[in-house]
Structure 1
């Protein structure tokens, strides 16, 4: 009787572990490759003012959703729009990504957008928009490896995402300003500030791809390892020069990316807000 009970307990334990492993593997796959996707194609009705900077804030996510940060970003950009007299159109519907309406926007912001969020036609519309003079800004999750869009990766981050630290996931360190040619972009920004975030690690340094680096951290002062049980073995970082904000011309337009912004608290940082305000205003 005792042996039978032990066998039942043993096989039950093995079954639970196997099911948990399958569920975890499925979750990790979906985070990397995106959850089931639907594409919105209905063109919205938008009344564009003729004398305001027009900003499209896009917050759709089909991969990991940084829900608290996305909502904090919406509120922060609404405040920045009031402060600067911008016209802000905030949406999670992809129908606005058509040539006619994109042409009316000065800036498009991917607010922690993850996964595949646009269909092929909408992607091409955004590519043409930037190459013809538009500005694209990406925040944190917008630079992970869940998008599977070659033009986007080459022109927004320029480098491929590898991982983020696991233990501890969030770490405090000093963010340091680099000299860049765009004086409007650095206007009012502190030379350094203390910030806590989930520090993304990329396989290469964006400097090697022709990007201008705005802010860096000392990669030797964080714990960059992304080891997770036996599934992930990424016990490496980017070294001392670890960029966290950078930009580059793309065709006649420009892209700007920051890997900061994982949690809602990032949007309470005056320097973080000033950096994004400058990125919009200095396009």
Structure 2
């Protein structure tokens, strides 16, 4: 009897240790990603004449929002056909070179997470945006897994802290903010309802020169991100909680929205209009 009890206790302890280890490994992957391989072969791309060109990049080395990424690919493909854009979709970082980036009107990070590009590719994207290009990041593109200070400071314009854990997806009223760029807000409703994983940032992007397009009332969601040994993620951003914004980066522009954790966002007409407006705006750089 005692032997059986010891075996049971050891088995239970082993299960607990494995579970904790798995959770810690997952947390590390979310923040840092696993060892990354960088694609360096330059792809062959035939750019049509007289068409806007968009680069849809969907690589992730951290947490992969698989369903949302695939829904995003379909949505951008539909938007491209609707507006007669050329859309180049890839998970391959080889396209991040100065010569090819210069031919795109906008670069889209479709829920990209983790370290994605090598040093030279990062420099190419930085030069592209600073020199007049447009960049659009969706949801996971704004987390803290990218390990690239310039990216967080310039393309996102805010430092990611956490997302709610206790209540993962939460319904919120998304409210339009006044901005001077009429193209960005064309056709957008003043309010709409949407459930999402509302990212919490340490700082409000407004304080870093961002023009907020949509925000939610952060006091009406539960922002608690505490889990296991993490006990300091029980705060939110307050009443003014931006969820979509743009900012000037050199001669270029960066757009970001924290909306888009799962595929349901891509079924929201307002979300698609928001993204379509941003793509149309990129043609006026």
TM-score range, shorter chain: over 0.9
Look up the match of 2:267: 268
TM-score by length of 2: 0.97
Equivalent-residue separation in structure 1 for 2:130 and 2:264 (angstroms): 33
User: Structure 2: how far apart are the matches of 1:230 and 1:33?
Assistant: 18
1:154: Cα distance to partner? 0.8
CA distance in 2, matches of 1:215, 1:231: 29
Please say which of residues 222-231 and 73-82 is displaced more in the overlay.
222-231
Q: 1:71: Cα distance to partner?
A: 0.3
> What SS does the corresponding residue of 1:168 show, helix, strand or coil?
coil
Q: Distance in 2 between matches of 1:231 and 1:135?
A: 36
Using the alignment, how far apart are the partners of 2:14 and 2:58 within structure 1?
A: 39
Q: 2-side partners of 1:186 and 1:249: how far apart?
A: 17
Partner of 2:122: 123
- Deviation sequence 1:117-164 (CA, Å, 0-9, x none): 111000000000001100000000000000000111011211111111
Partners of 2:144 and 2:231 in 1: how far apart?
15
Where does residue 16 of structure 2 map in the other structure?
Answer: 17
The answer on 1:218 being equivalent to 2:217 is yes
Does residue 104 of the first structure (1) align with residue 103 of the second (2)? yes
Q: Deviations over 1:174-208 (max 9, x none)?
A: 00000001111000011110011000000010001
For 1:29 and 1:40, how far apart are their aligned partners in 2? 23
Q: What are the equivalent positions in structure 2 for 1:1-283 lying under 5 Å apart? A: 2-283=1-282
Report the alpha carbon displacement of residue 232 of structure 1 after superposing the two structures with TM: 4.7
Unaligned runs of 5+ in 1: none
Hey, what's the Cα distance between the residues in 1 that align with 2:119 and 2:231? 31
Secondary structure of the residue that 2:62 maps to in structure 1? coil
| Cα distance in 1 between the residues matched to 2:122 and 2:139 | 19
Quick one: distance in 2 between partners of 1:157 and 1:96? Answer: 21
Offset of residue 91 of structure 1: 0.5
- Post-superposition CA distance 1:69-89 (Å, at most 9, x none): 000000000000011111100
Aligned residue-pair number = 282
TM-score w.r.t. length of structure 1? 0.98
Deviation at 1:30, TM superposition (A): 1.1
CA distance in 2, matches of 1:232, 1:19: 21
Whole-angstrom distance in 2 between the partners of 1:231 and 1:8: 31
1:167: Cα distance to partner?
1.9
Partner SS for 2:172: strand
Residue aligned with 2:168, SS:
coil
Q: CA deviation at 1:16?
A: 1.6
- Structure 2 portions without partners, runs of 5+: none
Q: Which moved more, 1:75-84 or 1:220-229?
A: 220-229
Q: Compare 70-79 and 150-159 and name the one that shifted more.
A: 150-159
> Which secondary structure does the structure 1 equivalent of 2:244 belong to?
strand
Which stretch shifts more, 7-16 or 249-258?
7-16
Per-residue Cα deviation, 1:218-275 (whole angstroms, up to 9, x for no partner)? 0011111001133454111000000000111101000000000000010000000000
